[in-house]
Amino acid sequence: MSSLFVLTFMFSMPAFCLGMVNPQWVGMGDRKLSFAFYGVLMAVSFVLVGVTAPKPPQPVASALLASIEWPESMVSEPLR
Protein backbone atom coordinates (compact mmCIF):
# COMPACT_ATOMS: atom_id res chain seq x y z
CA MET A 1 0.00 0.00 0.00
CA SER A 2 2.91 2.28 0.75
CA SER A 3 4.18 1.95 -2.83
CA LEU A 4 0.87 3.28 -4.15
CA PHE A 5 1.27 6.44 -2.09
CA VAL A 6 4.92 6.79 -3.16
CA LEU A 7 3.82 6.65 -6.80
CA THR A 8 1.07 9.18 -6.13
CA PHE A 9 3.56 11.52 -4.48
CA MET A 10 6.05 11.11 -7.33
CA PHE A 11 3.31 11.83 -9.89
CA SER A 12 2.02 14.89 -8.08
CA MET A 13 5.43 16.61 -7.70
CA PRO A 14 6.06 17.20 -11.42
CA ALA A 15 2.37 17.85 -12.02
CA PHE A 16 2.49 20.53 -9.32
CA CYS A 17 5.51 22.20 -10.94
CA LEU A 18 4.05 21.96 -14.45
CA GLY A 19 0.74 23.33 -13.18
CA MET A 20 2.51 26.38 -11.79
CA VAL A 21 4.12 27.07 -15.19
CA ASN A 22 1.08 26.36 -17.37
CA PRO A 23 -2.09 24.87 -15.81
CA GLN A 24 -3.36 23.62 -19.19
CA TRP A 25 -0.44 21.15 -19.30
CA VAL A 26 -1.95 19.24 -16.37
CA GLY A 27 -5.60 19.76 -17.32
CA MET A 28 -6.49 22.49 -14.83
CA GLY A 29 -8.21 25.78 -15.54
CA ASP A 30 -6.07 28.16 -13.52
CA ARG A 31 -3.01 28.19 -11.27
CA LYS A 32 -4.98 28.45 -8.04
CA LEU A 33 -6.91 25.26 -8.78
CA SER A 34 -3.75 23.46 -9.90
CA PHE A 35 -1.85 24.62 -6.80
CA ALA A 36 -4.65 23.52 -4.47
CA PHE A 37 -5.25 20.12 -6.10
CA TYR A 38 -1.67 18.97 -6.56
CA GLY A 39 -0.43 20.61 -3.35
CA VAL A 40 -3.04 18.80 -1.26
CA LEU A 41 -2.39 15.57 -3.17
CA MET A 42 1.34 15.84 -2.44
CA ALA A 43 0.79 16.57 1.26
CA VAL A 44 -1.75 13.78 1.79
CA SER A 45 0.28 11.18 -0.08
CA PHE A 46 3.45 12.18 1.82
CA VAL A 47 1.70 11.67 5.15
CA LEU A 48 0.15 8.38 4.05
CA VAL A 49 3.56 7.06 2.94
CA GLY A 50 4.74 7.50 6.51
CA VAL A 51 1.61 6.00 8.03
CA THR A 52 1.60 2.90 5.84
CA ALA A 53 5.37 2.32 5.80
CA PRO A 54 6.46 -1.09 7.10
CA LYS A 55 7.84 -1.19 10.61
CA PRO A 56 11.61 -1.68 10.91
CA PRO A 57 12.62 -5.17 12.03
CA GLN A 58 13.40 -5.60 15.71
CA PRO A 59 16.89 -6.91 16.44
CA VAL A 60 16.91 -10.62 17.28
CA ALA A 61 18.82 -10.24 20.54
CA SER A 62 16.37 -7.78 22.05
CA ALA A 63 13.39 -9.82 20.85
CA LEU A 64 14.80 -12.93 22.49
CA LEU A 65 15.66 -11.13 25.71
CA ALA A 66 12.19 -9.66 25.91
CA SER A 67 10.57 -13.06 25.51
CA ILE A 68 12.72 -14.88 28.09
CA GLU A 69 11.73 -14.77 31.74
CA TRP A 70 14.78 -15.30 33.91
CA PRO A 71 14.37 -17.35 37.11
CA GLU A 72 15.40 -15.61 40.32
CA SER A 73 18.31 -18.01 40.87
CA MET A 74 19.96 -16.81 37.61
CA VAL A 75 19.64 -13.09 38.33
CA SER A 76 22.78 -11.66 39.92
CA GLU A 77 23.07 -8.85 42.41
CA PRO A 78 23.52 -5.38 40.94
CA LEU A 79 27.09 -4.13 40.69
CA ARG A 80 28.06 -1.33 43.09
Is 19 buried (19+), middle (13-18) or exposed (0-12) by CB count in 10 A?
A: buried
Rounded CA separation 22/25 (Å): 6
Give the pLDDT confidence score for residue 30 in this predicted structure: 92
Measure the CA–CA gap between 7 and 19, rounded to whole angstroms: 18
Q: Which pLDDT score is estimated for 41?
A: 96
Give the DSSP letter of residue 29. Answer: S
pLDDT digits (tens, 9 = 90+) for 15-26: 999 999 999 999
**H-run or E-run covering 31:** helix 31-52
Q: Residue 8: pLDDT above 70?
A: yes
Sequence ranges of the domains in the chain: 2-54
pLDDT in tens, 34-77: 999 999 999 999 999 999 988 887 666 665 665 666 566 655 66
Would you state the pLDDT for residue 53? 87
Contacts of 20 (CB under 8 A, 6+ apart): 31, 34, 35
